[in-house]
């Protein structure tokens, strides 16, 4: 039986253990599917290098969590800026990863409400492993597009990255 994640809107198999992330809000099935995507990447170092930055960033902006939680606010904004750096500014994954520490300084407002997400990580997981990289990039683009109200702030924050 599938359950719909209240954050990203994706349909995921129900997870019997109920585990979720500490501050990125999702259904348990959504979190279980995300960990399966991560496992695929961790098993292949080359795939990890090409995809992991986008995977983490896309999941974070689609699952912003409780706006009262500092880590949740920070996560949304810095991962959105990282997506902006890679997808809109053409920066390398390693450069975006290095910038996260700089970007994490300061206080962040509540995440802006998304306009909706055309893809979730369920699409990545359902794809053959040979399509993983292409699907991650499509998912990351959909995650960024779904956060259109925050694009100006993502761009400004990305501009501060050293």
| pTM summary value | 0.96
Per-residue pLDDT of the chain (162 residues; tens, 9 = 90+): 789 999 999 999 999 889 999 999 999 999 999 999 999 999 999 999 999 999 999 999 999 999 999 999 999 999 999 999 999 999 999 999 999 988 998 899 999 999 999 999 999 999 999 999 999 999 999 999 999 999 999 999 999 986
Burial of 8 (0-12, 13-18, 19+ CB in 10 A): buried
Contacts of 111 (CB under 8 A, 6+ apart): 61, 64, 67, 72, 73, 76, 77, 150
- 13: three-class secondary structure by DSSP: strand
Our measurement of the distance from residue 161's CA atom to the centroid of its chain's CA atoms, rounded to an integer in Å, reads 19
Q: Where are the domains of the chain?
A: 2-159
How far is Cα 131 from Cα 127, in angstroms, rounded to an integer? 6
How far is Cα 138 from Cα 70, in angstroms, rounded to an integer? 29
The predicted-structure confidence for 83-106, as pLDDT tens digits, reads as follows 999 999 999 999 999 999 889 988
Is residue 76 a contact partner of residue 64, using CB atoms and an 8 Å limit?
yes
The CA-to-CA distance between both ends of the chain, in Å, stands at: 46
How far is Cα 40 from Cα 49, in angstroms, rounded to an integer? 12
Is residue 12 a contact partner of residue 122, using CB atoms and an 8 Å limit?
yes
């Amino acid at each position: 039986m599938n359950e719909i994640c209240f954050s990203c809107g994706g349909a995921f198999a129900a997870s019997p253990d109920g585990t979720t992330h500490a501050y990125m809000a999702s259904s348990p099935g959504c979190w279980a599917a995300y960990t399966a995507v991560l496992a695929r990447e961790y098993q292949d170092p080359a795939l990890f290098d090409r995809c992991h930055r986008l995977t983490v960033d896309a999941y974070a902006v689609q699952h912003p969590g409780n706006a009262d939680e500092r880590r949740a606010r920070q996560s949304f904004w810095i991962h959105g800026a990282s997506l902006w750096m890679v997808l809109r500014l053409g920066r390398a994954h390693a450069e975006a990863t290095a910038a996260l520490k700089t970007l994490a300084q300061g206080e962040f407002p509540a995440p802006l409400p998304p306009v909706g997400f055309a893809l979730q990580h369920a699409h990545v997981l359902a794809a053959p492993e040979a399509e993983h990289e292409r699907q991650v990039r499509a998912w990351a683009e959909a995650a960024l597009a779904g956060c259109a109200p925050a694009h100006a702030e993502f761009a400004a924050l990305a501009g501060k990255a050293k």
